[in-house]
Structures are given as C-alpha cells and as structure tokens.
Amino acid sequence: MGNSNHLKGVFAAVVTPLNPDLSPDLDGLITLLQFLAKRGCHGILLMGTTGEGPSFSISERLSVYQAAIYARQNLPGLSFLAGTGTPSLEDTVFLTRAVFDLGYDGVVVLPPYYFRKVTDEGLFSWFSQVLKKSVPLDGAVLGYHIPPVTGVGFSLDLISKLKDSYPNQFIGIKDSSGDPEWAQSLGARFGKDLMVFNGNDRLFSLALKSKAYGCITAMANLISPLHRIVWDNFQAGIIDEITQEKLSGAREVFDRYPPMPPLIKLMLSRMHSFPTWSVKPPLLDFNPVLLDSVLSEFLAEVE
C-alpha cells in the first residue's frame, strides 16, 4: 500500500466555507481545519460531497487544495485527502495530479457519474487512465462508493480488479452506501487488504468490526469527539455501544433534513461560533426557522 499505512482513524468530510459572493472563504477554511485538528480528527477530506466538490470550478477547487496544504505546516499529524472525481476523465486527471503535486496523502475519486448504465469494464478503463496518468507509484487512491447520490457504484469484482492491477495505488474505498450488508461484504471479501473508510455514522462500529480502517464522515464537522471515542475504544478491544448509539441518533436526525451541507454549516455556526456560511446553488441555505427544533433533536441524541 505504498506510503498510505498511516491513513486510518477519524476523518472529517469538511464543509467548504464560502464568502458572500459564493467564492471559497479560504481564511475560514484554515480556521475550520485548525478546529477539527483540535477535536480529535486524524485527518480531513476536502471537496467531497459534504464539501460540495462537484459544485466548484477547477480553479476554485485548486484554490481550496492550495490553501489547505499551506495550513498543514501548522497541523502536524493531520492527514489530508482531497476529492478529485468529476464526470470528465481529463479534469479528474488534472485535479488528481495537482493534489499529489501539492503533497496530499491521497485522493478520493468518484466514478464518472453522468452515464449511469456503464459496465465494470468501462469503469475499470476510466480508473485505469486516472491511475496511469496522474497517480504516483506510491500514491493512495480511494474509490468513492456513494450510489444513492451518483447512481454509479463499485462492484466487489471491480474493486478486486483495480486492487490487483494497481496494488500500490488503488488502496481502498470510501463506503457511503449506508448499506450494512455491503459494509460486511467488503470486510468478508478483502479483510485488511483493502482500506475501507465508512461514510455513514450509523454503521461506524459495524464497519470497524468488518475490518474498516476508520470513517470519513460529514458529522465529524460537529461531533468528532464522539467518533474518536468509538475509535479509541475499538482499538482497546471495547465495542462502545453507548457512544455508537449517540452517533446513530445524531445521523438519524440529519437524515430527516437532507441534504447535509446546509444544515451542517448552520449547526457549526450555532454550536461552535463559526460564521453562517452559505452553500453553492443548486443547494439552498437551511431554513433558520427550523434550526431551534433540529438543534434540540440533535443535542438530545448526543448529550
């Protein structure tokens, strides 16, 4: 797995702070990364689903990648991943190469999500081009499995073929399917030979029991200390059902008010005194009239 063995633990799928003109708020991003590093996160993922990655231009994404890596010099020990997947092969290659040139620990790559009835053979060809053209021989690539959003997912056979063909580069999966059977099947098929990062808080403990390396989750923006408790206890041989129930309850609250980025941004403002950051269209800001009741629901689960 090249130099990727340090990739494990609790990763926050970071929201992207925005200025009033909807451009990335890079100073706000640096402040948020410092906050997350102090809250028990082992790493962060930029420009994923929670970060609204597909809503940003190539130049905007580059500005976010560059600002974050500049901040990294003051964040020792924090691992950095970046979402680089787009429907365009060449744009994905360009972004992926740029991220590795900046010194990131790895990338998380969505499958091309416009043509939804493509075959495993077609997806293997697409990922092969990305891996050959933009990933160093020891560069870490995680496939991003989130079929409820993309409509395109990874089969176990596709993962196996990519892993066998590019063993030092295609090292894992971010599993945001929310499917407990899929989480267990990844562990049964690959064990510790595949780096699986769980993307659904309800399944964190189950994923760890199924040999997952950690989680990459939106909720870690708000409650990463709870994720860290589950992680630390699991490393000590303890299945922490009480804290896992808190994570599950918190996730169930958020699942009632999709999509997540608007609510997470508003909750960051209310719970942790961040600015009230907007979201990029086509997402809309969360209705502030609902916030008090949602916050009460949320706190009842996590406290």
Active site residues: 49, 114, 144, 174
Q: Please report where in the chains the tokens 């706000």 appear, as a residue.
A: 28
Cβ neighbours around 26 below 10 Å, total: 18
Q: Tokens at residue 20, please?
A: 């009033």
Asked if 145 and 177 touch (Cβ cutoff 8 Å), the reply is yes
CA distances in angstroms from 162 to 84, 165, 263, listed in the order given:
18, 5, 36
Q: How far is residue 73's CA from residue 111's CA, in Å, rounded to a whole number?
A: 31
Question: What is d(CA 218, CA 196) in angstroms, rounded to the nearest whole number?
Answer: 16
Give dist(CA 251, CA 297) in Å, integer: 11
- The pair of structure tokens assigned to 235 is 């490393």
User: For the residues of 16-65, what is the DSSP string, one character each?
Assistant: --B-TTSSB-HHHHHHHHHHHHTTT-SEEEESSTTTTGGGS-HHHHHHHH
Cα 194 to Cα 57: distance, rounded to the nearest angstrom: 31
- Contact (CB, 8 A) for 151 and 113: yes
What is d(CA 214, CA 231) in angstroms, rounded to the nearest whole number? 8
Taking CA 99 as the corner, what is the angle to CA 94 and CA 105, rounded to the nearest 5 degrees? 145
Check the CA dihedral 220-224-230-236 and report its sign: positive
